[in-house]
Amino acid sequence: MNINLILYILVAIFVLSGITVFIWSLVDTIRVRSSAEYSEIREEKIRAAKERFKNRKDND
C-alpha cells in the first residue's frame, strides 16, 4: 500500500475523532447548564409553594 494513503486515513480518523469530542463536550456543557437552570427553577417553585403554605396557615 502507498504510505500516503495510510497517512491520509490516519489523519482523517484523528480529525473525525477530534470533531466528535468537540461536539460531545459542547452537548454535555449545554446539558449540564440546562439541568442547573432546571434545578434552580424547581427550587424557586418549592420556595414559592412554601411561602404560599405559610401565608395560608397565617390567614387561618
Quote the cell numbers at residue 55: 401565608
Q: How many domains does the chain have?
A: 1
- 26 is a domain residue: yes
Classify 14 as helix, strand or coil.
helix
Higher pLDDT, 38 or 13: 13
15-52 pLDDT tens trace: 999 999 999 998 888 887 777 788 888 899 999 998 88
- 45 is a domain residue: yes
Reported as type and span, the H/E element at residue 58 is helix 3-59
- 33 is a domain residue: yes
What's residue 11's pLDDT?
A: 98
DSSP class of residue 43 equals H
Quote the cell numbers at residue 48: 414559592
Judged against a pLDDT cut of 70, whether residue 10 lies above it is answered with: yes
Q: Alpha-carbon distance 5 to 7, whole Å? A: 5
pLDDT band at 1 (very low <50, low <70, confident <90, very high): low
Judged against a pLDDT cut of 70, whether residue 60 lies above it is answered with: no
- 14 is a domain residue: no
